[in-house]
Amino acid sequence: MLDGVSSNFSKIYTSDCNNCDAICCIALDLVATDYKKPKNILCHYLKTEKRKCAIYKKRAEHGFSCCIQFECYGAGQAVTKLFHKLYGRKSTSTKIGNLKNDILVATLLTLGDKLELKYKNKIAVNSNILNALRPFLDAAITLIEERQ
């Protein structure tokens, strides 16, 4: 259960990685024992054709506590669904990919404020573009909450 959040909320605000384009494996900066990557770069363990992690069950051995502990609270599958509706499933545009990554982070920040999530100070999106992202992240939050 989320810190300070009811069990009903935790059913709504939970990740569904099987229905996500693995956005966190691209959007976030990661630091592991022998690997690190900046944000907006594909993790080199992500198999792009199926968007599956090649070391999923061995991430602890590789020191990937960063992604083991990460929880997007439903933002990943909502942003994925939104972008599939807007741009289709097969879009490979870097511009659209970066937009998707920014909207994931902006959605997490919005959820962070709403649910008082513990990681909210560890991620950031350029404040100059937040207003431009607002319609997308409002739509993503609506998609998450439609699961109620």
Minimal distance, residue 139 CB to ligand SF4, in Å: 16
- Distance, CA of 13 to CA of 142 (rounded, Å): 12
Nearest to 67 by CA among 122, 105, 29, 101: 29
- The residues that touch ligand SF4, with contacts defined as CB under 6 A, are 15-17, 20, 22-25, 30, 43, 45-46, 53, 55-56, 59, 64, 67, 70, 72, 76-77
Minimal distance, residue 53 CB to ligand SF4, in Å: 3
Q: Which is nearer to ligand SF4, 123 or 130 (CB)?
A: 123
- Distance, CA of 146 to CA of 95 (rounded, Å): 28
Residue nearest to ligand SF4 according to CB distances in the complex: 76
Minimal distance, residue 42 CB to ligand SF4, in Å: 8
Q: In a 3-state reduction of DSSP, which class is residue 32?
A: coil
Q: Which is nearer to ligand SF4, 39 or 59 (CB)?
A: 59
Do the Cβ atoms of 39 and 101 come closer than 8 Å? yes
Q: Which is nearer to ligand SF4, 131 or 143 (CB)?
A: 143
- Distance, CA of 89 to CA of 80 (rounded, Å): 9
Minimal distance, residue 120 CB to ligand SF4, in Å: 16
Please report the sign of the dihedral spanned by the C-alpha atoms of residue 121, residue 144, residue 131, residue 70: positive
